[in-house]
A and B are shown apart, each in its own frame.
Chain A
Amino acid sequence: MSDTVINQQTEAENYKRFMKKIESGEKIEADDWMPDDYRYTLIKLISMHGISEIMGALPEKEWVPRAPSIKRKLGIMAKVQDEMGHGQLLLRVTEDLMKPTGKTREDIMQDLFSGRLKFHNVFHMEAPTWGDAGLIGWLVDGAAIISQTNMLHASYGPYARALKRICAEEVFHAQHGEAIIMALAEGTEAQKTMVQEAVNRWWESLLMFFGPADASTTGSSKQDTTIKYKIRSKTNEDLRQDFFSKYIPRVKSLGLTIPDETMYFDKEQGLWVYRQPDWSKFKDIIRNKGPKSQERLQLRIHSHSINAWVRDALSQ
């Protein structure tokens, strides 16, 4: 037998063993054999997740110095710090996965800057008021809890363990956001208006948060691959429905209105029926053509470049 044939056989056996392992619920670790497809799917997923945490610090960061009391200042500082911490944790997981490819964190940053690496749609949006700062904590982090809980049992051990810690912290974030929103919703007329406007502004982004239901919308979707490899269990639409079931009653109980008068719960199907967001807008947003995409990217690029001397100095 030639070497190529032997290699193909081993490859096939490795793959079989790998699939058997993940199907029996065992975890894959950084140094274990894994198919390239699995490795690259993870790199894409986790680097996007990590960089989204880091870009996600920016919209709320706008409100850190402006928070209206010492307690709120401390709360939002700690919250944004956590996001940076999640980014760090996830980039470390990605760095290990990238090791065989010879790439480093600097490559991840450069991919972000060049637009090759996307960040999450919600972090391209404007956060013009203190109400938005609260809403991001409450509903965006609330949505994040739902999508990340879906991967808590991911077959890749380092990611599953990182998510466990991240999810625990996201619960605090959602409570932090909810506390801000409750103060506003129970406050003056101006404060109530501020929070309702934030809900209106973020509704479409929240629908988009979980991604399109299938590949027909954007031309590609990794959800089938990630389900096959037991990285996640539910589909985008399942997650969106879970989000509705959890949060719509809460939003309404604060006297707020959902900006979709067509929405209702269809008891027979057991599903929320809602108006689809404009998915062509979603495509634009994730291609860095959202309202704040360029400004936030520029801020990230700028701060990276003016501090390059510090990183150089440390590497001496």
Chain B
Amino acid sequence: MKKIDFPPEESMYRTALVELLYQLADDDFILAYRGSEWLGLAPHIEEDVAFSSINQDMMGHAAMFYQLLEDLGEGDVDDLSHSRKTNERKNGVLLERVNGPGHYLGKHEFDWAYTVVRHYFYTQFKKVRMDSLKTSSYQPLADVAVKVRMEIYYHLLHWKTWFLQLMQSNSDSRGRMEKAVQRVWDDVDSLLCYGPNGDDIVKAGLIEAEDKLLQRWKHFLTPVFEAVHLSIPEKLKPAAASGREGVHTKDLEEALAVLSEVYYMDTTASW
């Protein structure tokens, strides 16, 4: 397919591209935010340092995707990340879920097992997604994908290590991990879909079809699941609302209020 550097105004191509970019940017942004809530509270100091590097990388990736949107005239990177309302957000619902009940400053029940499983599943998906985007018809996006892929290698190694260790440890740990896996399976469909404009996104050659990515994703998960004697469900539970169409949970609404608290004190000021 022909490579495109400047999508024509008001084209189907442009609409599909913008849609996909929002999904990419919002996915990384919200999960990096969830990760940042853990800062200072991780299970041990070494993990705190490592996890924070991953969160910074992910927020950096979000910034690159928002920048592509800014370049297309969608608005300023900070406005796009901080001021869009809940129903304008396109991230998968899985990624907006709280780390656990409670606030990051108080008596919270942040769940490390859930964090590990969610991050592992997402990072593996992100790897497959970036692999596909490398040949995207939109050249600036393909260029970003190449950069992002280099960092994902380490993220994936990190989460896979945690996943295997906690799965293969004592029964308490195993029990918590299995519960977390179940919860993530329930939402994971939200990640693997391209939303209402999905057909146009694929037709435009921006990324390969959902099915292909899903198969590839499962293919990478399979040996890891076999190693810990867990099976991958044949069919994923369809998400009630994926998030891709702008329908989200209260968790996202609350997160947006926190992350934009200072920004909204004065949206015209320089901070």
Contact = CB atoms under 8 A, between A and B. Distances in A.
- Where chain A touches its partner, the secondary structure class is helix
B21 to A, nearest CB: 15
A190 to B, nearest CB: 7
Interface in B226-271: 258-259, 261-263, 265-266, 269-271
B128 interface: no
Nearest to A61: B40
A130 B43 CA distance: 27
Interface of B: 33, 36-37, 39-46, 48-49, 52-53, 55-56, 59-60, 62-63, 66, 77-78, 81-82, 104-110, 112, 165-166, 169-170, 172-173, 176, 258-259, 261-263, 265-266, 269-271
Nearest to A298: B107
Interface string A188-211: 101100000000000000000000
B37 A81 contact: no
Interface in A47-69: 54, 57-58, 61-69
Interface stretch (A29-37, A70-78, A219-227, A278-286): A70-78
B106 A54 contact: no
Contact of A312 (B39, B46, B105, B170): B170
22 contacts: A61-B39, A61-B40, A61-B104, A63-B262, A65-B37, A69-B78, A73-B36, A77-B39, A77-B52, A80-B39, A80-B40, A84-B49, A183-B270, A188-B269, A190-B266, A299-B105, A299-B106, A311-B43, A313-B166, A313-B169, A313-B173, A316-B169
Most buried by A among B40, B108, B261: B40
B228 to A, nearest CB: 13
A314 interface: yes
B271 A183 contact: yes
Interface of A: 54, 57-58, 61-74, 77-78, 80-81, 84-85, 87-88, 91, 130, 180, 183-184, 186-188, 190-191, 299, 302-303, 306-307, 309-314, 316
Contacts of A64: 36, 39
A231 B44 CA distance: 29
Given A65-B36, A66-B258, A299-B105, A87 B45 contact: yes
A295 to B, nearest CB: 8
Given A64-B36, A81-B48, A91-B45, 5 more contacts: A61-B104, A65-B33, A65-B104, A303-B41, A313-B169
A77 B59 contact: yes
Nearest to B172: A309
A81 B266 contact: no
A307 B42 contact: yes
A306 B176 CA distance: 13
Nearest to B111: A306
Nearest to B255: A65
A38 B43 CA distance: 32
Given A80-B39, A314-B165, A68 B81 contact: no
